[in-house]
Structure 1
Amino acid sequence: MSKIDFLKEQIIEARAFVNRLMSELPEDLWYVVPDGTDSNFIWQAGHLLVSQNFHTMTAVTGVNERVGRLMPIKEYNKIFNGMGTLHRSITKDLIPVTKLREQLDNVHQICIENLELMNDEALAEPLAPLPFKHPVAETKYEALSWSFKHEMWHSAEMEAIKRDLGYPIVWMK
């Protein structure tokens, strides 16, 4: 298996895990911040949208114009960016859950399409020019690898939010 195929597979598997979590919590609870926490499901999903866009596309192949045409990604970066964010929740009715889920799927599909255009040789290359230093990566491989690890990190947070809202952890289906 090539490195790019491995990375693509991991990104797809991480998203499948998150999709399962999202299907287990009713959408009317996505804006609820459980007691003792600082986040809600809607922010977590939005954060995964902007982070996948950043780690798998912006940092690897540059700004993806298609993403910008499909959603207000610059505004989403302000709302859902995790680096230095003082809040990790958003208020009800800011973005409908179904709309954000559709946009999350769109970014994921564009990410996979981009990966299918890459080869292993490109993975050793430095990142595309960014306005700030990438928090964990210097090469395209490192950014893509971080993307699925980061998604799994947030899936654990989503699982905790789901549990705190009265929906038990489901490991196998």
Structure 2
Amino acid sequence: MRKEVAIQNWKKARGYALKLVKDIPENRWFEIPKNNYSNLLWQFGHVLASEYRLALLRVRGENESDKSFIPSDFISTFAKGSHANSTIAYTVKELFNIGELLAETIEKESNHWDDSFLLQKVEGDIHPMFSFRIEALEYSALHDFLHCGQIGIIRRQLGFTSLG
């Protein structure tokens, strides 16, 4: 049941992120509004990079097939500590394509994760927000929603209406 709730919340967060950006013209995604440090392209790319790291890497480790939808420089481009800038070489369309393949992979693979698998400790570096695989999956949705707030602020700063 806990896995189902985590996946359901991740789907809600992903859906909300898509709703926030779907009506923004591509040329506005690169703008960094006055009194802000970020743009839509970086925020949305960061959401995707984090979903990959939290909902896949931290849960089941890296698979060779990941390279088919996550370019080699994607994580470093949008990782914590990276910055929005005009040299990011990804287009909005590329981000949507990566996001779609990522979502398909998470949904497909999560069907095979049972409680005994998800209640194991994550491998790799310690994270301050979770210790177990199920917690990494749960945190993915929370992290997405956090960045939805930032996307919403940028959306308003660009002159678009807020969404409920």
Q: Give the distance between the partners of 1:40 and 1:64, measured in 2 at CA.
A: 30
> SS where residue 73 of structure 2 aligns?
helix
- Tell me whether 1:146 sits opposite 2:143 in the alignment: no
Q: Describe how 1:59-98 pairs up with structure 2 within 5 A.
A: 59-72=58-71, 74-82=72-80, 85=81, 87-91=82-86, 94-98=89-93
* Structure 1 residue 141, shift from structure 2 partner: 1.4
Is the 1:42–1:90 Cα contact (8 Å) retained in structure 2?
A: no
The 1:71–1:123 alpha-carbon spacing in structure 2 relative to 1, beyond 3 Å, is closer
Match of 2:101 in 1: 106
Q: Which runs of 5+ in 2 are unaligned?
A: none
Task: Tell me which of the two structures has the higher relative contact order, counting C-alpha pairs closer than 8 angstroms and 6 or more residues apart.
Answer: 2
Mapped partners of 1:22, 1:65: distance in 2: 30
Q: TM-score, normalised by structure 1?
A: 0.89
CA separation of 1:65 and 1:134: change in aligned 2, threshold 3 A: farther
RMSD: 1.5
**Structure 2 residue identity aligned to 1:141:** I
SS at match of 1:167: coil
**C-alpha separation in 2, matches of 1:93 and 1:141:** 32
Cα gap change, 1:25/1:106 in structure 2, threshold over 3 Å: closer, same or farther? same
SS of equivalent to 1:16: helix
Question: 1:168, 1:36 → 2: CA distance?
Answer: 18
Counterpart of 1:157, as a letter, is: Q
Measured at CA, do residues 24 and 133 of structure 1 come closer, stay the same or move farther in structure 2, by a change above 3 Å? Answer: same
Q: Give unpaired runs (5+ residues) of structure 1.
A: none
Q: How do 1:93-172 residues align onto structure 2 when only pairs under 5 Å count?
A: 94-127=89-122, 129-130=123-124, 132-171=125-164
Q: Distance in 2 between matches of 1:160 and 1:92?
A: 22
Q: Distance in 1 between matches of 2:88 and 2:36?
A: 20
Give the partner amino acid of 1:42: L
Cα distance in 1 for partners of 2:128, 2:100 equals 24
Q: CA deviation at 1:92?
A: 5.8
Are residues 90 and 107 of structure 1, via their aligned partners in 2, closer, same or farther at CA, if it must alter by over 3 Å? farther
Q: Which runs of 4+ in 1 moved over 4 A?
A: none
Aligned mates of 1:133, 1:29 — CA distance in 2: 37
Deviation at 1:93, TM superposition (A): 6.5
Q: CA 1:90 to 1:110, structure 2 compared with 1: closer, same or farther past 3 Å? A: farther
CA distance in 2, matches of 1:9, 1:88: 30
Quote the Cα distance in structure 2 between the aligned partners of 1:123 and 1:115. 10
Change in Cα spacing, 1:24 to 1:59, as seen in structure 2 (3 Å) is: same
Structure 2 Cα separation of the partners of residues 108 and 69 of structure 1: 13
